[in-house]
Amino acid sequence: MAEPIPMNPAQSEYIELIAELMTIRKRGDVPKAFIRTYGCQQNVADSERIKGMLKAAGYSFTDTPDDADFILFNTCAVREHAEDRVFGNVGALKNLKRRHPSILIALCGCMMEQEHVAKRIRDSFPFVGLVFGTHCMHEFPELLYKSLVDGSRVFVRDNDDKLVHEGIPVERDGRIKGWLPIMYGCDNFCTYCIVPYVRGRERSRRPEVILAEAREMIESGYKDITLLGQNVNSYGKGLDPRPTFAGLIREIDRIPGDYWLRFMTSHPKDCTRELIDTIAESEHISLHLHLPFQSGSDRILKEMNRRYTREKYLDIVNYAKERIPGVSLTSDVIVGFPGETYEDFQETLSLIREVGFTSLFTFIYSPRKGTPAAEMDDPVTDEEKGRRFRELLDVQEQIAAERCASMVGTVEKVLVEEKAKADGVLCGRTSGNIIVEFPGDDSLIGSFCRVRITEARNWILRGELACSEAVQISSINKST
């Protein structure tokens, strides 16, 4: 088994220095941190590492900014709306800082890698003391220490050193579901997307490090592990010898235990039949494929630089349906990309109908400064984009409802995650990531159960326990 990789010694020393410092500076018994995460699971995973470093430095965590000595927002730049929310919520911290001047307010993540955003923070939010981009996360202990002792504002970004930094401690948010990053960055440059500019070039973690982390998660009781990357299918680029993604998940699948393995995001241009075969033949990989198509029109796909056609997309989807009976397909779609005609949009709707997705993440195109699409002509009005968006939601709602209704009467394997709102009701998910609610005892939380589906309400299933005891995943046929 691979030895755990130690943290960079310089950063470990800063953690110790912060711990000493905080015994003097905190407001309560122990210093408290409030962390709010925006955006995708990559950011959630980064925040879990930042929390790991804070915990090592002696911090505890609070859900109330008012109680915190350190406040950090980990930000997302993917759409304008995400950025506006961050600016709004940061603005609201001004009074808090006035009341408690010793609080350190910090911002990190994707937004902070954009020069114009860092400038706006510097000029308009003087109460923000520390700003660091995604590439500087591994230096967080040093940056935090400097801002604590110095009192002057610290701004760092654009330190794209192309390295993968291992050994950072992790404080995970959940105990049942966990995130496992396998690679960082993106090389695809879809024309609408800011991610490659704020996350840098693709770099992969070494397979033995990923396997060790997966093993540790499984041994400590995680039941649902999601491997993360912007394009997991190109995992391994730059490593020697080059591992493949299918090879990596086959290795993880061999780790014994009761767990599901998921991954996101799979890019259709690199999604191979070998990957589909691997899912079909595996013991632990969930029967779920998240495969963003973005648009059903070949013309728009080309403008988006997605590098696949509608035909290629449908080909891989049909192969997945054939090899993995009952596979649950989910996707991302953008409405109103510059120059999208009503006919292009109809192609998107027809693809949605043809595939029959379990659920969709739907977005109205949002221009991102510095991306090629932001410079393209965009004659379609916001009102028209809004109309298309609602039309798409109506179509998808009906498809999801039909899919859920077709599951009534079946017995599903469900991972119980938490209590539902109603008393005595539990909430879990199927292998295909569909929410199931059923009456049951809290002691079942964190275990796999068989649930007979009795009712479908839009995209939520209701059911009843089909056998009264929690069951071992290995004793259930994967396809049930």
366 binds, among ligand SF4, ligand F3S, ligand SAH, none (CB under 5 to 8 A by kind): ligand SAH
- As beta bridge partners, residue 227 has 180, 263
| Beta-carbon contacts of residue 187 (< 8 Å; ≥ 6 apart) | 196, 201, 202, 231, 234, 237
Binding mask 40-79 for ligand F3S (x = CB under 6 A): x-xx--------------------------------xxx-
For ligand F3S, give the closer residue by CB, 199 or 462. Answer: 199
| 230 binding ligand SF4? (CB under 6 A) | yes
From the list 224, 195, 179, 182, the residue with the least C-alpha distance to 292 is 195
Q: Rounded to 5 degrees, what are φ and ψ at 133?
A: -85, 175
For ligand SAH, give the closer residue by CB, 75 or 147. Answer: 75
Amino acid at 43: N
What are the CA-CA distances from residue 251 to residues 155, 212, 261 (Å)? 41, 11, 12
CB of 415 to ligand F3S, least distance (A): 25
Among 50, 130, 190, 420, binds ligand SF4 (CB under 6 A): 190
CB of 57 to ligand F3S, least distance (A): 24
110 binds, among ligand SF4, ligand SAH, ligand F3S, none (CB under 5 to 8 A by kind): ligand F3S
| 257 binding ligand SF4? (CB under 6 A) | no
Provide the angle, in degrees to the nearest 10, between the axes of the packed helices 207-219 and 245-253. Answer: 30
The H-or-E segment that residue 430 falls in is strand 425-430
Amino acid at 334: I
Which token pair is 224? 């649902």
What are the CA-CA distances from residue 252 to residues 173, 182, 236, 296, 475 (Å)? 22, 12, 15, 34, 19
Among 97, 199, 290, 413, binds ligand F3S (CB under 6 A): 199
Spatial contact of 265 and 40, defined as CB atoms under 8 Å apart = no
**DSSP codes of every residue in 389-428:** HHHHHHHHHHHHHHHHHTTTT-EEEEEEEEE-SSTTEEEE
| 196 binding ligand SF4? (CB under 6 A) | yes
CB of 351 to ligand SAH, least distance (A): 14
String of b and e for 232-256 (b: at least 16 CB within 10 Å)? bbbbbeeeeeebbbbebbeebbebe
| 407 binding ligand SAH? (CB under 6 A) | no
Instruction: Write out the binding residues for ligand SAH, residues 338-397 only, by CB under 6 A.
Output: 363, 365-366, 368
Among 332, 378, 384, 391, binds ligand SAH (CB under 6 A): 332
For ligand SAH, give the closer residue by CB, 56 or 186. Answer: 186
- As beta bridge partners, residue 436 has 428, 461
CB of 251 to ligand F3S, least distance (A): 26
- What is the dihedral sign for C-alpha 370, 372, 377, 382? negative
Contact region with ligand SF4 (CB under 6 A), list: 20-28, 124-132, 184-192, 319-327: 184-192
| 228 binding ligand F3S? (CB under 6 A) | no
Instruction: Write out the binding residues for ligand F3S, residues 95-124 only, by CB under 6 A.
Output: 110
| Beta-carbon contacts of residue 383 (< 8 Å; ≥ 6 apart) | none
Spatial distance between the Cα atoms of 166 and 189, rounded to a whole number of angstroms? 26
Instruction: Write out the binding residues for ligand SAH, residues 50-109 only, by CB under 6 A.
Output: 78-79
CB of 269 to ligand F3S, least distance (A): 19
8 binds, among ligand SF4, ligand SAH, ligand F3S, none (CB under 5 to 8 A by kind): none
Place of tokens 């960079």: 8
Spatial distance between the Cα atoms of 402 and 407, rounded to a whole number of angstroms? 9
Among 42, 204, 231, 328, binds ligand SF4 (CB under 6 A): 231
| Beta-carbon contacts of residue 284 (< 8 Å; ≥ 6 apart) | 252, 253, 259, 260, 261, 473
Spatial distance between the Cα atoms of 312 and 445, rounded to a whole number of angstroms? 41
Among 11, 74, 294, 430, binds ligand SAH (CB under 6 A): 294
Binding mask 287-326 for ligand SF4 (x = CB under 6 A): ----------------------------------------
Contact region with ligand F3S (CB under 6 A), list: 39-47, 89-97, 161-169, 433-441: 39-47
| 473 binding ligand F3S? (CB under 6 A) | no
| 159 binding ligand SF4? (CB under 6 A) | no
Instruction: Write out the binding residues for ligand SAH, residues 247-286 only, by CB under 6 A.
Output: 265, 267
CA angle 107, 109, 115 (to 5 degrees): 80
Measured from the Cβ of residue 94, the count of other Cβ atoms closer than 10 Å reads 13
For ligand F3S, give the closer residue by CB, 72 or 434. Answer: 72
Contact residues for ligand SF4, defined by CB under 6 A: 186, 188-190, 193, 195-196, 230-231, 267
- Contacting positions for ligand F3S (CB under 6 A): 39-40, 42-43, 76-78, 110, 194-195, 198-199
Which residues lie near ligand SAH (CB under 6 A)? 78-79, 192-193, 195, 230-231, 265, 267, 292, 294, 332, 334, 363, 365-366, 368
